[in-house]
Structure 1
Amino acid sequence: MNQSVVIENKSSVKKTHRPLVLATLVISMFMTAIEMTIISTAMPSIVGEMRGFTLYSWVFSAFSLMQAVTTPIYGKLSDLFGRKPIFITGIVIFLVGSVLCGLSKTMIMLVIFRLIQGLGAGAVQPIAMTIVGDMFTVEERAKIQGYFSSVFGISSVIGPIVGGVIVQYSHWSWIFWMNVPLGILSIIGVVFFFHEGIDKQKHTIDYTGSILFVISISSLMIALIQGGVAWSWTSPQMFCLLVVFILGTWLFLKQERRASEPMMPLQLWQNRYIAVGNTATFTSGAIVIGLTSFIPAYIQGVTGGSAFIAGFTLTVMTVGWPIAAWVAGHLILKIGIRPMAVIGGIFIFIGSLFFITLDPSKGSLWAGTGSFMVGIGMGFSNSAFMISIQNSVQRQMRGVATASNMFMRLLGSSVGAALLGGILNFSFKRFVLSSDNPLGNTVSIDSINQVLDSSKTHQIPARELHVIQHGLTIALHSVYWGVLVLAVITMLGTLFLPKTRNTA
């Protein structure tokens, strides 16, 4: 790999130091990726200090919501005004939000400041991936995807650990303030070592399209986050949110057709690489959230395993993912993008079969094997999708194309959590009302909470515990059938990728 690359503009010739810029991008990706998991072990301490347990889930949701709705907007802005200014702006906003989060005195303040964090994170991850697409050839890009996949895997594993250590030996605010030196390093690296040539021409920003997009997608994600939890799916609030989403989406599509420089060019979706890759990324995002959300419930609630064992079954997924991405980087140019994506789809499908055949006698090793297989599949397929998408568009469209893929992953996670969570609740409620439940009203959906709390399981009568675990097994089995359906859609999607590149 060359140490630098020359990028020309009309006035000067400057060198971009690619290894240092790549290190900078890895740091920034790690900084924003770990923010999704590091807070999990700190939340009990935060709630204990500030109260406001009713806003517990919104500390997580506020960040992911704002990140999701702004990712495509930042992608388009980076195409119009350059990667560097938008990337730096995103980091600055993220750091401001981080400092404010650490200074929060109430849960409401924390939720608001997490929104600011997410507003900045929406720029960092997609533009970092886009800069990689700009700096490196497709041959080099294939290998570098493994580095970035490793960042997500490592951050998801060590995030809760780092959060626990900080809470144990310091104050929870440092889980936010630790971002400051990382963010400053990222800014310095991009300012001094990354140079790009931007055409000097007047651009128009699609403000109307951006506003409509934020309103419609925010309505959908709030409905998915709150539905079945704070509000009933048939409540007036849900009805209003869905109406806003449908109306907002219609107005957004209408606006994008007539805008001179649309925020989300609709012709992107006529590109088969983007249409197929984003659809499969959406379903694979739902698969990942489904497994990470419900594997611990099975291990701890059904088999009686510890939180450590449950964590192990998830860790092997994050081990398989970067390994496969690294292998894909070395093989993808030899066997092709489409075959690599198909191999990934097959591994995801095989991994999902482990879960529909899971029963208490097979235990955590069986679940861990399935998790590892899914991780392998994600490493192969997601690398292929990102490379094919970036390679199928010109530079001036690469930012919004890359951001569209990351947005679909985030949206898939939100939809998957709501869909599979709804399947779990529906299936368990149906069990409670069926003849398989001999205890009648003694068992309810709240019984799951007791089973998942290892400190309280000994207080549950043996017969009741057995019935609850049986019902949870049935409900989770339904969830894993849902995962299998998503895996089939993902695998079939890889078969529809074009066999050849349509641009260089």
Structure 2
Amino acid sequence: MSESVHHQITHRHWILVAAMLAMFMAAIEVTIVATAMPTIIAELGGFSQFGWVFSIYLLTQAVSVPIYGRLADLWGRKRVFFIGTSLFLIGSVLCGFASQMGWLILFRAMQGLGAGAIMPLTSTIIADVYPPRERASIQGWLSSVWGVAAIIGPLTGAWIVQHFSWALIFWVNVPIGIISMLMLARWFPESRREQTQRLNLTGSGWLMLTVSALLTALLQAETLGYWVVALFAVALLAGYALMRHEVRADEPLFPMAIWRSRTLVAGNAGNLVIGAAMMGISAFLPTWIQGVNGGTPLQAGSALAMMSIGWPLASMLSGRLMQRTSYRFTAQLGSVLLILGTAMLLTLHSNSTAWQAGISAFVIGTGMGMTSTTFLIAVQNTAEFHIRGICTASIMFSRMLGSALGTAVMGAVLNYNLMTRLPGHRDPVQQIMSQPQRDALSHGSLQQMVSEIALSLHWVFAVSLAIAVASLLIARLIPAIRPH
């Protein structure tokens, strides 16, 4: 499918609906499972393995994203999308039948391997069927799915576990995925260039080893102890081997065009820092609201949902703004909003309301939505058709890697500050988050702990601010032209 045949596609709206359904299925998975996990643990046990239910999903998803992107360029979007979605749905069905935590973790790994195809390929399919001038606004519609999922997911998960078996939270994916595949099978006119290339299996192997070791070390740093050093060493050596192999390979996993184009490099770097900055909000803002302000989980979730609402709204607005101004202006405006929102977090204090935190999260969400969509559209409009799949996948991969890096860096900043400021307390955040432990503290002790934890979190927000400033510098690298 070349850029000249977009007008020949007569059912683009149904293809868009199918892509949005698939994106919704992947987006709601995280929030709906998080809501149901207490119920699942109560039945299956294995609380010590709780973190792996989420980490293994993120790990296998991140590892497989670049591979699916390359396969989509070689085998065609539709075939690879069906393979990945089928694997995701099989994993979903098996998760519902898990009888112990170990099986659930294994089936979540299968889900993640399938999910690695869904996000990049839905965006790539939309880029294939819509011309450059329309892609920005259409990608905004795709982004809006995340905002809807962020609101519907927790409510649906809570309703299901209250009235039905927790297995249904996994099985609800099945009809959505089947409908999406049937719609694409009917209306998406798969067309691809004849390829004599084969998948770079050696490069794929080195990539999987590099990313698996790196993300496992970052996501499980607190539980692995000194094994983290060994994992970082493995990631470093495997990454070096990957670079040497890619330079010499006739068919590199990541085409050299990605590294030769300033726009493609900027798009990946931009999403790396956006993913990192996002974790400063998603992981630590609820801690501020519940720990420092003494708010409820509902208040924390509501404030965080403001970011998910701002993201799709700004994403849709950025499409029109790009066509009136330029990629660079839109990305820079989004970066300024991101900087403003993270700076607002530094003004929070112990008497701040959840609404103040929510407004900050909303501004941050608008900045993220505007910058991420602009970087994605600039990359898709720059990349040739035969590498658009891997270029889109690399954007998604960069954001996931940034999220893992951001979690590790900001977690380390928080832990260092807590260890320095409250050396005589073990897990002080847990003490003020748990209502019985909080009530057991004297007024003076509680005020001291809250004050020191607030200062520690301010350092986390300062790191987020520095990362947001980096996004403004990266935005200057993309061209000052409009989509055409």
Q: TM-score, structure 1 length as denominator?
A: 0.93
Is 1:87 the counterpart of 2:81? The answer is yes
What one-letter code is carried by the residue in structure 1 that aligns with 2:404? S
Alpha-carbon spacing, 1:201–1:411, altered in 2? closer, same or farther (3 Å): closer
Q: Kindly provide the CA deviation profile for residues 122-148 of structure 1, in whole angstroms up to 9, marking residues without a partner as x.
A: 001101100111100111111112111
In the other structure, the counterpart of 1:468 is 449
**Aligned partner of 1:204: which letter?**
R
CA distance in 2, matches of 1:290, 1:352: 9
Partner of 2:244: 254
CA shift at 1:499, angstroms? 2.2
Which structure has more RCO (C-alpha within 8 Å, separation ≥ 6)? 2
- Cα distance 1:250–1:305, how it changes in 2: closer, same or farther (>3 A)? same
Decide which of 359, 363, 381 is 2:371's aligned counterpart: 381
Q: What is the aligned partner in structure 1 of residue 479 from structure 2?
A: 498
User: Where in structure 2 are the equivalents of 1:349-360 lying within 5 Å?
Assistant: 349-360=339-350
Matched, 1:311 2:298: no
* Distance in structure 2 (CA, Å) of the matches to 1:54 and 1:16: 52
Deviations 1:394-429 (A, max 9, x none): 100100000000000011111111111111111011
Q: CA offsets, 1:258-286, max 9 Å, x none?
A: 22222112331221111112111111111
Q: Structure 1 residues 455 and 20 mapped into 2: Cα distance closer, same or farther (>3 Å)?
A: farther
In structure 2, C-alpha distance between the alignment counterparts of 1:101 and 1:400, rounded to whole Å:
29
| Percent of pairs with identical residues | 37
Deviations 1:27-61 (A, max 9, x none): 00110111111111111111111111111000001
Distance in 2 separating the partners of 1:94 and 1:28: 11
Alpha-carbon distance in structure 2 between the residues aligned to 1:420 and 1:159:
26
Contact 1:7 1:195 (8 Å CA) reproduced: no
| Alignment partner of 1:264 is 2:271 | no
Q: Give per-residue Cα distances to partners, 1:179-237, cap 9 Å, x unaligned.
A: 1101110110111110122233432110000010000110000000111x2023xx1x1
Distance 1:425 1:393 in 2: 42
Contact 2:325–2:481 (CA under 8 A) maintained in structure 1:
no
Does structure 1 residue 302 correspond to structure 2 residue 297? Answer: no
Are 1:368 and 2:358 matched, yes or no?
yes
SS at match of 2:144: helix
- Alpha-carbon displacement from aligned partner over 1:66-107 (angstroms, at most 9, x marks no partner): 111110110010001110000010110000100111110111
Cα 1:305–1:204 shift into 2, 3 Å: same
Find the counterpart in structure 1 of residue 105 from structure 2.
Answer: 111
Report 1:96-245 matches (<5 A).
96-227=90-221, 229-232=222-225, 235=226, 237-245=227-235
User: 244-253 vs 460-469, which deviates more?
Assistant: 460-469
SS in 1 for 2:284: helix
2:458 matched residue in structure 1: 477
Deviates more, 1:363-372 or 1:333-342: 363-372
Secondary structure at 1:118 match in 2: helix
- For residue 455 of structure 1, report the CA deviation from its aligned partner: 4.7
Residue 372 (structure 1) shift: 1.1
- Opposite residue 259 of structure 1, the aligned amino acid is A
Q: CA deviation at 1:15?
A: 4.8
Deviation, structure 1 residue 6 = 9.2
Aligned equivalents of 1:67, 1:260: Cα separation in 2: 27
Q: What's the counterpart of residue 336 of structure 2? A: 346
- Pairwise CA distance, 1:7: 5.1
Say whether residues 1:27 and 2:21 are aligned partners: yes
In structure 1, C-alpha distance between the alignment counterparts of 2:328 and 2:387, rounded to whole Å: 22
Aligned partners of 2:246 and 2:253 also within 8 Å: yes
Partner of 1:403: 393
Aligned-pair distance for 1:361?
Answer: 3.0
Determine the C-alpha separation between the residues in 2 that align with 1:146 and 1:476. Answer: 32
Rounded to whole Å, the distance in 1 between the matches of 2:435 and 2:157 is: 22
Taking the aligned partners of 1:325 and 1:251, their CA distance within structure 2 comes to 38
Of the candidates 451, 459, 470, which is equivalent to residue 489 of structure 1?
470
Shift of 1:115: 0.5
Matched, 1:432 2:429: no
Match of 2:46 in 1: 52
Counterpart-to-counterpart distance in 1, 2:192 and 2:402: 33
Q: CA deviation at 1:458?
A: 1.8
1:115, 1:470 → 2: CA distance? 40
Contact 2:306 2:365 in 1 (8 A): yes
Instruction: Please show how residues 54-73 of structure 1 align to structure 2 within 5 Å.
Output: 54-73=48-67
Give 1:247 deviation, angstroms.
0.8
Please tell me whether the aligned partners of residues 74 and 195 of structure 2 are also in contact (alpha carbons under 8 angstroms): no
Q: 1:317-359 deviations in whole A, cap 9, x for unaligned?
A: 1111111111111221111111000000000001111012221
- Amino acid across the alignment from 1:463: G
The Cα shift of 1:498 comes to 2.4
Q: Does structure 1 retain, via aligned residues, the 8 Å contact 2:193–2:386? A: no
Q: Partners of 1:107 and 1:16 in 2: how far apart?
A: 47
Shift of 1:175: 0.6
Amino acid at match of 1:477: H
Q: Give aligned pairs, total.
A: 482
- More deviation, 490-499/174-183: 490-499
Q: 1:279 aligns with which of 269, 276, 280?
A: 269
SS of the residue corresponding to residue 375 of structure 1 reads helix
In the aligned structure 2, how far is the partner of 1:82 from the partner of 1:482?
A: 41
Give me the TM-score of the superposition, normalised by structure 2.
Answer: 0.96
> Structure 1: where are the runs of 5+ without partners?
434-440
Structure 1, 383-392 or 456-465: larger mean CA deviation: 456-465
CA contact (8 A) 1:142 1:383 kept: yes
Report the CA distance shift for 1:303/1:81 in structure 2 as closer, same or farther (over 3 A).
same
Asked if the contact 1:14/1:195 (under 8 Å) is kept, the reply is no
Counterpart-to-counterpart distance in 2, 1:15 and 1:449: 56
Which segment is superposed worse, 358-367 or 38-47? 358-367
The 10-residue stretch of structure 1 (201-210 or 381-390) with the greater mean CA deviation from structure 2? 201-210
**Which aligned segments of 4 or more residues in structure 1 are displaced greater than 6 angstroms?**
none
